Structure 1
Amino acid sequence: MKIKSQKDFFAGLLYASVGGAFAIGATNYSLGTAARMGPGYFPLMLGVLLCLIGLYIIFKALVVETADGDKIGKWAWKPLFYIIAGNLLFGVLLSGLPKFGIPGMGLIVAIYGVTFVVSKAGNESSIKESLILATILSAISYLSFIKLLNLQFPVWPSFITG
């Protein structure tokens, strides 16, 4: 069987494998029923749905002819590096690394940090746009997670709040 669209095939493979992994992982929790859902019910259904979408995309990539075969291009190393680095930085800034004596800086600083690092992934980033985006994301995150959902995690660095 010939792959007619490499991009679709590998995207579908990614969807199917991630969905399958989530569905398998969800079976470690109590599933319950549709009327009384357990903690594993939603991840299981979401994983199965994601897996089915992936299988459909794989099927389409094997059946539907494309003009040039939709070849996979070169790896975009710069965006990949900055996006992964931004996510790691967010985790470190949010809660710190106590083992190495690095304190957590809180939600607001973590959002500003990740916004500035990830903005370097593209070619058209400006400091002004990143500052505006980080401010908007910080305000929305603060209102959503701290005020509305009452989640308990640090908002500001410990040396500011005490």
Structure 2
Amino acid sequence: MSYTHYFYEATVGAGLPIISTLQDLLGTGDKILQIEGIFSGTLSYIFNKFIGTRAFSELVMEAKKAGYTEPDPRDDLSEEDVARKVLRYVGVVDVVNQKGGVELGRYKKDHPFAHISECENIIIFTTERYMQQPLIVRKPGAGAQVTASGIFSDILRLAPYFGALS
């Protein structure tokens, strides 16, 4: 008998434990109210550097040289990249109102999105359990090391299905 197992942590948030956190919240009986986040390390980097003194295209090329972009940076700059995985470029899933979207928004200095640096990804889970103080998952979201770490983590999760690491 053949089984197929998929793990997504390496591609969703470049290794951030987003999917496993969501599964754990749901598995323990919590109810998701809203998920919002900065899901693109490339856009995080660009908008953290963008202060109006340098050309936007220069920042994109800098991000590419640093290894933070897809091979074609235009893939990172389309809202499809955030949708499938500032000023902040934020994806929001509002479960209560059954709405979702991607938007460029301004955030007050006390908001967690205002404190990310370089190419970080950040996801905020607002749930019934974490309503007063939402659960935040945050770390670098682009680059070879974090992507490799995410892939290795997925391999370790997959290994027990094949009798390894049991």
TM-score (norm. length: structure 1): 0.23
TM-score (norm. length: structure 2): 0.23
Higher share of residues assigned helix: 1
Bigger Rg over Cα: 1
Instruction: Give the number of the structure with larger relative contact order, counting CA–CA contacts within 8 Å between residues 6 or more apart.
Output: 2
